[in-house]
């Protein structure tokens, strides 16, 4: 097991989820030399498998956490400007619990959410009756369903967009690099990273950030002097992918005394069923059990005219979302707020540990982390808050106009590919399609909906190393791929990766900074 000396940087970030990616983008934009590593694929854990629903009015009605939701509302407004291709708003039909009637006070809280937190800009947010087609799949209940508008964000792509922003400012992104050990020496962090071949690389940095999400406790054990009074518990969420069983673009939120079930549109012909099954203390991968799946289907079928069977489940999985709580014990319906723990025992080499957090507050968290580092390293002025992410610079008054512009520029592009490229890559779709004049220019189809041009684009620009990176994290095309398709794609990737065209052109650089002082 060889040990090689790596390069130096200002900030080493451990963890490539939304927290690490957002901090990398913020620090790189502010002139720091950033290196981010992840032991697997970037965005490979909960960031690529959530229900994509930003906490909104219904969550607010339950928790009444004003400071948290104020941050979320600001994040929504910025996402609409920074990444319009990843953001959308959908009506959700709320099916109340049949056992518990809602208090009239909920209408007051809903009014407060709309007129104070949202500035009165959403007159359609208030409760209204569901339409006949929205009620079509639902069985009659004691309390009538009502409709509100909730926001959805493609959080897997949001991770990639933030990493692309960081890379455009000379940050280095490394996947499949596991933290082995980190220690302070003479005002610097010396961190050992292990690659997939077992080789150990030692990197030197002024600052260290632990943004490993659910694995934060495990990472803390590898960092000398990383004692903290903060902790997280892990919200365990069960997800089922099933064929879409209703017409329309709406989602459904079923409330009960056993917890909420969400049903949201997932790609074109599927929907994602999600519920929280509990809170755990130990980060460990696990699969959904048959009893958990059958129990979720049973609870869902209580609200449906045509029941769903276990045979309708195309895919099931479990994720663990870190849940920070300053109470004695986290609750399953708690919000994914965050805490930043600063540890700088020597006054020169800070360690920031990110406890909790989610895509709902990622930018506010990243800005706060950068300001913390500003006590020790020299920061440039922050970019304008609404600066678009790499795919968000669509140069159109609306995203629909941007899609029409791409359609006029590439009139031969089938509608399903047009929507997929625009929604996935935004303004970068022009880079993907550059020089193509016909469908044949995209190359052979490697899996349903995936042409060689797109696969090459992902390998060259988005740190792809295996078939799952493309099919389940960069896109959702795995929904249409058969096992044989996945094997063929993996074979193509294995053959293509060693070629010069697949080389990632992201270089590492070091920005010398003067020693900081504690303010």
pLDDT in single tens digits along all 519 residues of the chain:
556 666 799 999 999 999 999 999 999 999 999 999 999 999 887 777 888 888 876 776 666 777 788 888 888 889 999 999 999 999 999 898 766 555 555 666 666 666 665 655 554 445 578 889 999 999 987 678 888 888 899 999 999 999 999 999 999 999 999 999 999 999 999 999 999 999 999 999 999 999 999 999 999 999 998 888 888 888 899 999 999 999 999 999 998 877 889 999 998 899 999 999 988 888 888 889 999 999 999 999 999 999 999 999 999 999 998 888 665 555 556 667 889 999 998 999 999 999 988 888 999 999 999 999 999 999 999 988 889 999 999 876 788 899 999 999 999 999 999 999 999 999 999 999 999 999 999 999 999 999 999 999 999 999 999 999 999 999 999 999 999 999 999 999 999 887 655 544 433 333 333 433 322
What is the four-CA torsion angle of 476, 236, 337, 262, rounded to 10 degrees? 60
Using the CB atoms, write b or e for 118-145: b if 16+ within 10 Å.
Answer: beeebeebbeeebeeebbebbeeeeeeb
327 φψ region: left (φ > 0), alpha (ψ -120 to 50), beta (else): beta
- CA 478, chain centre distance (Å): 18
Cα–Cα distances in angstroms (integers) from residue 494 to residues 188, 488, 498, in the given order: 38, 10, 8
- For β-strands 34-37 and 3-14, DSSP reports them as parallel
State the CB neighbour count (10 A cutoff) for residue 112: 15
The counts of H helices and E strands in the chain are: 15, 18
In the block, which residue shows the tokens 């509302």?
73
Residue pair 379/206 in contact (Cβ under 8 Å)? The answer is: no
Pick from 98, 90, 104, 30: which is nearest to 61 by CA? 104
């Amino acid at each position: 097991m060889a040990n090689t000396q790596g390069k130096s940087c200002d900030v080493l970030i451990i963890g490539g989820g939304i927290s690490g990616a957002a901090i990398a983008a913020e620090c790189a934009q502010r002139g720091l030399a950033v290196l981010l590593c992840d032991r697997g694929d970037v965005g490979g854990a909960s960031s690529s498998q959530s229900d994509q629903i930003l906490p909104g009015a219904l969550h607010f009605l339950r928790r009444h956490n004003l400071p948290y939701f104020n941050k979320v509302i600001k994040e929504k407004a910025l996402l609409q400007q920074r990444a319009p291709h990843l953001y959308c708003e959908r009506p959700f039909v709320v099916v109340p619990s049949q056992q518990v009637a809602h208090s009239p006070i909920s209408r007051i809280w809903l009014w407060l959410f709309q007129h104070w937190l949202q500035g009165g800009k959403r007159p359609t947010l208030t409760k209204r009756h569901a339409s006949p087609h929205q009620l079509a799949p639902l069985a009659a209940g004691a309390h009538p369903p009502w409709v509100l508008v909730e926001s959805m964000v493609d959080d897997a792509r949001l991770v990639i967009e933030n990493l692309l922003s960081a890379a455009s400012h000379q940050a280095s992104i490394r996947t499949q690099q596991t933290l082995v050990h980190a220690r302070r020496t003479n005002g610097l962090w010396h961190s050992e990273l292990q690659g997939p071949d077992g080789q150990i690389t030692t990197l030197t940095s002024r600052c260290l950030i632990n943004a490993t999400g659910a694995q934060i406790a495990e990472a803390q054990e590898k960092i000398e002097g990383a004692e903290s009074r903060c902790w997280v518990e892990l919200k365990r969420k069960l997800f089922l992918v099933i064929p879409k069983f209703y017409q329309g673009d709406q989602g459904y939120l079923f409330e009960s005394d056993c917890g909420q079930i969400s049903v949201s549109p997932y790609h074109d012909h599927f929907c994602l069923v999600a519920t929280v099954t509990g809170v755990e203390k130990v980060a460990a991968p696990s699969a959904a059990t048959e009893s958990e799946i059958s129990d979720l289907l049973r609870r869902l079928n209580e609200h449906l005219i045509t029941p769903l069977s276990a045979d309708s489940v195309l895919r099931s999985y479990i994720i663990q979302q870190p849940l920070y709580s300053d109470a004695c014990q986290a609750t399953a319906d708690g919000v994914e707020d965050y805490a930043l723990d600063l540890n700088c025992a020597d006054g020169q080499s800070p360690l920031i540990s990110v406890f909790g957090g989610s895509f709902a507050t990622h930018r506010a968290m990243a800005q706060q982390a950068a300001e913390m580092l500003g006590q020790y390293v020299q920061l440039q002025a922050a970019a304008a808050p609404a600066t678009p992410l790499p795919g968000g610079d669509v140069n159109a008054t609306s995203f629909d106009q941007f899609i029409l512009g791409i359609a006029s520029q590439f009139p031969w592009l089938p509608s399903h590919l047009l929507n997929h490229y625009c929604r996935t890559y935004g303004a970068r779709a022009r880079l993907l399609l550059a020089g193509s004049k016909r469908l044949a220019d995209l190359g052979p189809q490697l899996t349903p909906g995936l042409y060689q041009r797109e696969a090459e684009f992902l390998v060259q620009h988005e740190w792809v190393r295996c078939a799952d990176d493309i099919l389940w994290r960069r896109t959702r095309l795995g929904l249409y791929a058969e096992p044989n398709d996945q094997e063929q794609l993996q074979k193509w990737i294995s053959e293509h990766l060693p070629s010069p065209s697949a080389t990632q052109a992201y270089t590492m650089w070091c920005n010398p900074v003067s020693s900081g002082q504690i303010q």
